[in-house]
Amino acid sequence: MNNVGDGTTAHPTVQHLEALTSLRFLAALYVLLYHYTGIPGSVFEGQVARLGYTGVSFFFVLSGFILAHNYHQVNFAKPGALHRYALARLSRIYPVYMLSLMAGVPFLLASLDRMMPSVTTTLATSSLLVAPFGLQAWFPGTACSLNCPSWSISVEAFFYLMLPFFLAPIMRNPLKVLFATLGCWIATTAFFMWVWATVSTQGSILLSQPGPTQEIAAQWIKYFPPGRLPEFCLGLVLYALWKRQPQRFNSSLMLCAFFIVAAILLRQAQNIPEIVLHNGLSAAAWAPLILGAAGMNGGVLSLPICQFLGRISYSLYLLHFPIWSAVLAFDNRALGRILATQHPTLLIVLTAALAIFCSAVVFVWVEEPMRRKIFRAFPIGRQTTVRP
């Protein structure tokens, strides 16, 4: 069970949504697949893998849903409530986050050694200073330099700051906020599309850019935290609606809706503006999936092994990229790129298995022990048994 608090006493118990925990692993695996299929020739190539970046939108929406579930009874105005909330978030994300940044340092230094002095080189170097504070997503050029997936943790930190201000109003008026969220998403996406059309003649924001202006613009569009806020707010709204009448969101119907919308997005992806798809449109599929899974009781997703995989998903999400970089470096230097050129499918499978194993080890030996140590180190955290 997850426990949350009222700000002064022990947190009231809330139901543990087991299916959503398990889905976190599948989403992390989807992002992993997107990064690992950067080498050509594997059996995993295809439209499904090419849209793996949309797994980040799933995490943003899910984050809003789960945080609303855990904290909707908390009165953040009461003494100590904000401190306990901040400590819970810090203890949950920071240890593995810092480990992932340290794992990315050698690869950043190697790439800087190959780069010509320029604005982008300076910005990439500055990521060593801003990333430990979770600020890299605010500075285009630094967001993806030091372990690229960590940019989303910088965005999540912004969401955490917004939650105490947003949660109560959204719980009171979810439909009004839903329309406001949709309006904000349309406005920001249209603005991003205009900016991109102004600065770049290249269609894709996902590819390497020809110049520093285009690279900075692409990173700003993809990673700037306020631009991704509608996805988080959608998660808060979904929970508020689900909490009022959970029986209205039949799991079977919601899963059918997910598969229908996902199939449409996969089929029409080439005809959808890339910025629209990258910055939140996939939430149209993730929303019914989350609502359907929230109402599930029992089943495959409740099995202990699925629950464990879900719990290690945070480590997997942050560590899979430096592990991939390390394996590619080993293949390049020790094996003459035999795996990448002749056995790309085997390379992906073996590296994914290694990433899952390392994530399990980190979860057991770093993530959970450090979370407990942080709570023990601060008296304010001893009143709660929250597991974020």
For position 380, what pLDDT does the model report? 59
For position 160, what pLDDT does the model report? 98
For position 65, what pLDDT does the model report? 98
Q: Which run of H or E residues covers position 3?
A: strand 2-3
For position 241, what pLDDT does the model report? 97
Over residues 251-272, the pLDDT tens digits come to: 999 999 999 999 999 999 999 9
For position 373, what pLDDT does the model report? 92
- DSSP bridge pairs for 3: 13
pTM of the full structure: 0.94
Burial class from Cβ neighbours inside 10 Å (0-12, 13-18, 19+) for residue 353 reads: exposed
Top pLDDT among 21 and 379 is at 21
For position 46, what pLDDT does the model report? 92
pLDDT-derived band at 355 (thresholds 50, 70, 90) equals very high
Q: What is the mean pLDDT of residues 60-75?
A: 96
* Cα–Cα distance, 287 to 40 (Å, whole number): 32
For position 294, what pLDDT does the model report? 96
pLDDT at 187 over 50: yes
Residue 112 corresponds to which amino acid? Answer: L
DSSP 245: -
Assign 109 to helix, strand or coil. Answer: helix
Residue 387 corresponds to which amino acid? Answer: R
Q: What is the mean pLDDT of residues 346-374?
A: 97
pLDDT at 107 over 80: yes
Percent of the chain with pLDDT over 70: 94
pLDDT at 8 over 50: no
Lowest mean pLDDT among 54-68, 89-103, 108-122: 108-122
pLDDT at 10 over 90: no
pLDDT at 206 over 50: yes
- DSSP bridge pairs for 14: 2
For position 13, what pLDDT does the model report? 64
* Cα–Cα distance, 225 to 228 (Å, whole number): 5
Over residues 158-180, the pLDDT tens digits come to: 999 999 999 999 999 999 999 99
Percent helix, percent strand, percent coil in the chain, to nearest 5: 75, 0, 20
Find out whether 289 and 254 touch, Cβ atoms under 8 Å. yes
339-345: long-range contacts (C-beta < 8 A, 24 or more apart)? 340/39, 341/41, 344/39, 344/40, 344/41, 344/42, 345/41, 345/42, 345/43, 345/44
Q: What is the mean pLDDT of residues 72-83?
A: 92
Over residues 241-254, the pLDDT tens digits come to: 999 999 999 999 99
Q: What is the mean pLDDT of residues 17-33?
A: 97
* Cα–Cα distance, 140 to 147 (Å, whole number): 15
